[in-house]
Amino acid sequence: MAEVTGIGGVFFKCTDPEALRDWYAEHLGLPVDNEGYVVIWWGNEVKGSTVWGPFPEDTSAFEWPEGKQWMLNYRVDDLDEMLAQLRSSGVDVSEETFEDVNGRFGHCWDPEGNRIQLWQPNPGM
């Protein structure tokens, strides 16, 4: 039987794709290619995984005031440094962080009001 080998991409609609791509490149360091996409190759330098997780409709895991039904989570190598960097460049960043068995988490918002979860995984994850 054929099987899925990974997440091929995450695509979503937005008001101003070019401005949003530029924002993600500037503030989160996502490498935007010539066609306007971010392609991150999983190589040997960074061990990790991508989590795909449907949640029950009544979950409180991401009850955002914005009313969104989805969440983007980005792995970061240093959560404190990333949050400080975002704050210093004027990005709206939550003061709260939290930690669980998977690592440390924080949040910020992109220019279109989408909440972004930033995750510093625990070693070995």
Q: Are 103 and 76 in contact (CB under 8 A)?
A: no
Could you give the angle at the alpha carbon of 29 between the alpha carbons of 69 and 50, nearest 5°? 50
Class of domain 4-121: alpha beta
Res 4 pLDDT > 70? no
Of 82 and 67, more confident: 82
> In this predicted model, what pLDDT tens digit does every residue of 23-64 receive, in sequence order?
989 999 888 888 777 777 766 666 666 776 777 777 777 666
The chain-wide mean pLDDT, for the chain, equals 81
Predicted local distance difference test score (pLDDT) of residue 15: 85
Res 2 pLDDT > 50? no
Predicted local distance difference test score (pLDDT) of residue 8: 64
Between helix 79-88 and helix 17-28 the angle, nearest 10°, is: 120
